[in-house]
Amino acid sequence: MVKSFALWSRSGLERARGFTLIELAIATSILMIGIVSVLSASSQMHALRQVNRERTLAQNAVRSISERIHAASQGFSDDPTTWGAELLALYGPGGTSGDTFEVLGLAEAEEGEPVGRIVIVTDERSTDAELGRDLGMPRDLNGDGDASDADVSASARILPVTLTLRWRGENGQQILRHGFYVMGY
């Protein structure tokens, strides 16, 4: 009886000395799943960081252009009858600064198209749907009691402005729109 106990004990020790192939395969599988999960999370965090960076660049550009337009509007307000035309001469199509702008760090959505576009609305009959922003249009912009004038650039008291940024980002084409009003002070 003692002899059989020794045999059983020795064979039990031999089995406990190493891992079986199945145990190694399971351990390796678990390790690989963990590594893939960490790599996937790291990749997603990098993409999210890039998207946040792009959005911050776009928002800072909108804020900067908005402030420039407000400052120009205030600078032109010496003569309330011409400030709208002067603002358009600066930020309108073909104006000194023009109606487009680039944003360093953002890629063009389409080849040759600028990232940013400025639209100064002088047509009181324009609608919010046409502008792509809720600005309360159509609206009386020159204070004459109606909202039916096609061009109020020479007599405007208030002008709606829309800024649109389009860029090709980490998650494809991105769009940011911002609408605000400027007025002759």
Can you give the residue ranges of every domain in the chain?
Answer: 2-183
pTM of the model: 0.72
SS3 2: helix
Minimal CA–CA distance to 153: which of 110, 180, 124?
124
**Cα separation, 160 vs 137, whole angstroms:** 9
Minimal CA–CA distance to 126: which of 117, 115, 139, 113?
139
Furthest C-alpha separation in the chain: 117
Q: Please, what sign has the CA dihedral across residues 56, 114, 159, 133?
A: negative
> How does pLDDT run along the chain (185 residues), one tens digit per residue?
455 555 555 555 555 677 788 988 999 999 999 999 999 998 889 888 988 898 999 999 999 999 999 888 887 766 767 888 888 888 888 878 888 898 888 888 888 888 899 988 888 888 888 887 888 878 888 878 888 888 888 888 888 999 999 998 888 888 899 989 888 76
Look at residue 26 in the predicted model and tell me its pLDDT. 92
Look at residue 38 in the predicted model and tell me its pLDDT. 92
In this structure, which amino acid lies at residue 1?
Answer: M
The number of beta carbons lying within 10 Å of the beta carbon of residue 153 is 21
Altogether, the residues listed in the chain come to a count of 185
In this structure, which amino acid lies at residue 13?
Answer: L
Angle, helices 83-91 vs 21-75, to 10°: value is: 140
User: Do residues 138 and 92 make contact, with C-beta atoms less than 8 angstroms apart?
Assistant: no
Minimal CA–CA distance to 164: which of 106, 111, 78, 125?
106
Q: How far is CA 160 from CA 8, 25, 155, in A?
A: 92, 67, 14
Look at residue 61 in the predicted model and tell me its pLDDT. 92
In this structure, which amino acid lies at residue 180?
Answer: F
